Amino acid sequence: MKDQFYKYIERLQDRITSTIEELDGAAKFNEDIWKRDEGGGGKTRVIENGAVFEKGGVNISAVYGKLPEALRRQFKVDEGDFFACGLSLVLHPKNPFIPTVHANWRYFEMYNSQGEIVTQWFGGGQDLSPYYLFNEDAIHFHTVCKKVCDNYQEEFYPIFKKNCDDYFWNTHRNEARGIGGLFFDYLKETDMFTMQDRFDFVTAVGNSFLESYVPIVEKRKNMSYEKSHKDWQEIRRGRYVEFNLVHDRGTLFGLKTNGRIESILMSLPPSVQWKYNYSPEKDSEEQKLIEILTNPKEWV
């Protein structure tokens, strides 16, 4: 399973980066291949200062070795080895009318002292963080998410959509990071689903990513904007940074497993503002976004 999934994310990385380069039309991804001393490594691809994307990364990695102490405590085991691989991406657009997007699809195995698998699971999802709210964009993104879920189980979308709303919640701000999408974790073998079933579902979600995001970028990339729109984008990016550094489990996992810091923090935007006690004007487009972020909505 781990070989099967790693080959899949290699192909997916190629497909996503080539599509994003074509969409940007100016910048190309720079590739950085790295090794982890304890075992494994990855392939980081970063795009910067493009015509459409100010910064973005599409990374794959496969790391393995002894479970670090923090993870042994989390899994309540005295010892064990692990293997984890996945694709993680974040795209920060230049135009504030294009939303930032994040996605991640991953696989994990843990072994006993005899090298036997004692647990394995899939996780992942995709979510959208707009700066200005266009209802049709939100509906499109969630419609694609729901369609791929409904092909497997009708209960998947409402469960994974709520998981996403709950997970990407900045508790210290009492607001969502964005308008959500899908989030699932610990998808294991059950009486109803084999691990191959789980693989098929997670890869179908990964394959739907470009369909969910590219049409939104194409629709918004040529919209004109003012400095005030850019300022608001950078203020909202600050909330994005806060979530990633304070709450995000993927960031914390990378730091606890001696991951490559440049790849872990690739998700952070290039320019950010923090204004003291800032609130947008009443009835403004900026305020309309805040209202949705404090009260997650059912889009489809």
- Residues 65-90 have pLDDT tens digits of 988 776 777 777 777 899 999 999 99
Catalytic residues: 102
Pairing of strands 100-111, 117-129: antiparallel
- Is 41 in contact with 62 (CB distance < 8 Å)? yes
Looking at 15-19, 108-112, 122-126, 175-179, which range is the least confident one?
A: 108-112
Residue 14 dihedral angles phi and psi, to the nearest 5°: -60, -45
Write the pLDDT tens digit of every residue in 203-259: 999 999 999 999 999 999 999 999 999 999 999 999 999 999 999 988 877 777 777
Topology annotation, domain 2-294 = oxygen-dependent coproporphyrinogen oxidase (3.40.1500)
Q: Is the pLDDT of residue 134 over 80?
A: yes
* Better pLDDT: 197 or 38: 197
The answer to whether residue 179 scores a pLDDT higher than 80 is yes
Backbone angles phi, psi at 267, to 5 degrees: -70, -15
pLDDT on residue 112: 86
Residues 114-143: what's their mean pLDDT?
A: 96
> Quick one: tokens of 217?
């970028």
Residue with tokens 């200062």: 49
What pLDDT does 190 receive?
A: 96
The pLDDT tens digits of the residues spanning 266-279 come to: 889 999 999 999 99
Domain boundaries, the chain: 2-294
Strands (E), 40-142: 40-48, 53-66, 81-93, 100-111, 117-129
Q: Give the per-residue pLDDT at 119.
A: 92
